[in-house]
């Protein structure tokens, strides 16, 4: 199993450009989420999904869109990139069910907005 796969690993954008960060998992996990990691601020939840067709906002959703058309994929879209979105982005997934299950993280995407 590949686990959680994120692409690209690195990306540089200009202010105002749009792009999609890809996340795929092959563990049949119901729950998927996107975090951003900034120095000294830990991991902050952007958007999450509890299953195909269901998404919801996390702590810092502004400027980002998500969709969940399949169980495997959970792309994150930056609509109009801003320098404040320079960060490392992590996708994570876990089993659903009644109780919380460990979240498995991808390797991250390092995004710079100029």
Partner 1 sequence: GENVEQHPSTLSVQEGDSAVIKCTYSDSASNYFPWYKQELGKRPQLIIDIRSNVGEKKDQRIAVTLNKTAKHFSLHITETQPEDSAVYFCAASTADSSYKLIFGSGTRLLVRP
Nearer to partner 1, 12 or 16 (CB): 12
**Any idea what the Cα angle at residue 74 is, between residues 104 and 37, rounded to 5°?**
55
Query: Do 38 and 48 contact (CB within 8 A), yes or no?
Result: no
Cα 70 → chain centroid: 15
Nearest CB to partner 1, comparing residues 58 and 75: 58
What are φ and ψ of residue 34, in 5° steps?
-120, 135
Q: Tokens 């959680």 belong to which residue?
A: 4
Question: x/- binding map, residues 70-109, to partner 1, per CB under 8 A?
Answer: --------------------x---x-x--xxxxxxxxxx-
Instruction: Draw the binding track, 29-58, toward partner 1 (x: CB under 8 A; -: no contact).
Output: --x-x-x----xxxxxx--x-x-----x-x
Which DSSP string corresponds to 3-43?
-EEEE-SEEEE-TT--EEEEEEESS--SEEEEEEE-TTS-E
Q: How far is the CB of 1 from partner 1 (least distance, A)?
A: 15
Supply the minimum distance, in Å, between the C-beta of residue 41 and partner 1.
Answer: 6
Verify binding: residue 1, partner 1, rule CB under 8 A.
no
Query: Which spans of this chain sit near partner 1 (rule: CB under 8 A)?
Result: 31, 33, 35, 40-45, 48, 50, 56, 58-59, 90, 94, 96, 99-108
């Amino acid at each position: 199993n590949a686990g959680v796969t994120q692409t690209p690993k690195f990306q540089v954008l200009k202010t105002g450009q749009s792009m999609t960060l890809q996340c795929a998992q092959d563990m049949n996990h119901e729950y998927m989420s996107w975090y951003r990691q900034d120095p000294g601020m830990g991991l902050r939840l952007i958007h999450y999904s509890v299953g195909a067709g269901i998404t919801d906002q996390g702590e810092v959703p502004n400027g980002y869109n998500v969709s969940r058309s399949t169980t495997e994929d959970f792309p994150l879209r930056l609509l109009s990139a801003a320098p404040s979105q320079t960060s490392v982005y992590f996708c994570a997934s876990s089993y659903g069910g009644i109780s919380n299950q460990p979240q498995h993280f991808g390797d991250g995407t390092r995004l710079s907005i100029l």
